[in-house]
């Protein structure tokens, strides 16, 4: 068979997770993988709608549209506690009343976008790349924005105020960890290939844990924020036990996100 196509984001958690696998630094018995394509997660979401990659990073929100085409792998996910998107603003005096704000979101199909609609139903949004949101806030072209990835660690440097940690809100509402992103594989490729790729991802994470400094050149080559402390904090926050195995709790968290999205009419019943 041809090598399987692969796409994931340039964020430190993904490059940390996949470094050893794509650079063949570990024994790997799974299917051959084509050189990966790295791009913003919302771009990956859109490409998944077209079926571009055999294996791809997806927002869990986007996965709600694609369950008839892709299956979530047990490894590689961004899911946990205390790691949700932040609703931030430059309006310190309006922080208690965000209902009338125009909010920048990092993509229509991101989990952050769905969480915002669950938290503030019907709010006005404008879509832009995640790395442009804080600039838009500084220019006051929007009232608030959803901060994800490295921005979680740097928004205070821009004198921005956090109105709500949507991950904390989700945890209070549901009791589940927040399901941000997953690695999904085309359903038609079969269970054996799914399992083999999942095992390869786990081996890649374990190699990274044993050789953290060796991962840095690849991570830094793609990161938006190069400060070593920010990169380390990003990895520590988004790579955890769920990254090695979603388990029943992780899968239930994804199911609950999709169920709530369906309940407000934002996700189809597949």
Q: Are 181 and 111 in contact (CB under 8 A)?
A: yes
CA distance 34 to 91: 46
Could you tell me the pLDDT band of residue 11, with boundaries at 50, 70 and 90?
A: very high
Could you tell me the pLDDT band of residue 196, with boundaries at 50, 70 and 90?
A: very high
Concerning whether 149 is annotated as a catalytic residue, the answer is yes
CA distance 107 to 131: 11
151-174 confidence digits (pLDDT tens): 788 888 888 999 999 999 999 999
Percent of the chain with pLDDT over 90: 80
Cβ atoms within 10 A of the Cβ of 4, count?
18
Specify the CATH number for 6-80+178-263; select among 3.30.420.40, 3.40.190.10, 3.40.50.300, 3.40.309.10. 3.40.190.10
| Residue-averaged pLDDT of the chain | 93
Query: Who wins on pLDDT, 251 or 153?
Result: 251
Could you tell me the pLDDT band of residue 247, with boundaries at 50, 70 and 90?
A: very high
Annotated binding site: 57-59, 111-112
Same fold, 6-80+178-263 and 86-174: yes
Could you tell me the pLDDT band of residue 210, with boundaries at 50, 70 and 90?
A: very high
Q: Determine the pLDDT at residue 149.
A: 76
Cβ atoms within 10 A of the Cβ of 30, count?
18
Q: Are 184 and 72 in contact (CB under 8 A)?
A: yes
Annotated binding site for substrate: 57-59, 111-112
Residue 266, both tokens: 């934002």
Q: For the chain, which residues make up each domain, given as ranges?
A: 6-80+178-263, 86-174
Catalytic residue among 61, 90, 149, 234: 149
Q: Determine the pLDDT at residue 98.
A: 73
Q: Determine the pLDDT at residue 176.
A: 98
* Strand, helix or coil for residue 91: coil
Architecture of domain 86-174: 3-Layer(aba) Sandwich (3.40)
256-269 confidence digits (pLDDT tens): 999 999 999 999 98
Q: Are 59 and 122 in contact (CB under 8 A)?
A: no
Q: Determine the pLDDT at residue 217.
A: 96
């Amino acid at each position: 068979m041809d090598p399987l196509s692969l796409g994931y984001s340039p964020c430190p958690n993904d490059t940390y997770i996949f470094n050893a696998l794509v650079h063949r630094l570990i024994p790997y018995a799974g299917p051959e993988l084509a050189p990966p394509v790295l791009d913003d997660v919302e771009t990956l979401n859109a490409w998944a709608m077209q079926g571009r990659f055999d294996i791809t990073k997806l927002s869990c929100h986007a996965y709600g549209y694609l369950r008839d085409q892709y299956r979530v792998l047990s490894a590689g996910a961004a899911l946990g506690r205390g790691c949700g998107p932040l609703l931030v603003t430059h309006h310190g005096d309006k922080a208690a009343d965000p209902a009338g704000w125009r909010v920048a979101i990092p993509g229509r199909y991101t989990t952050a976008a769905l969480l915002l609609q669950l938290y503030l139903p019907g709010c006005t949004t404008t879509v832009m790349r995640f790395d442009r949101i804080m600039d838009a806030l500084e220019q006051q072209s929007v009232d608030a924005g959803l901060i994800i990835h490295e921005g979680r660690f740097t928004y205070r440097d821009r004198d921005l105020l956090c109105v709500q940690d949507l991950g904390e809100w989700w945890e209070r509402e549901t009791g589940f960890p927040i399901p941000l992103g997953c690695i999904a594989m085309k359903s038609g490729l079969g269970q054996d290939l799914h399992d083999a790729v999942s095992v390869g991802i786990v081996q890649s994470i374990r190699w990274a844990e044993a050789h953290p400094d060796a991962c840095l050149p690849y991570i830094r080559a793609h990161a938006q924020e190069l400060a070593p402390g920010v990169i380390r904090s990003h990895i520590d926050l988004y790579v955890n036990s769920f990254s090695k195995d979603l388990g029943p709790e992780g899968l239930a968290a994804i199911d609950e996100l999709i169920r709530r999205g369906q309940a407000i009419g934002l996700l189809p019943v597949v």
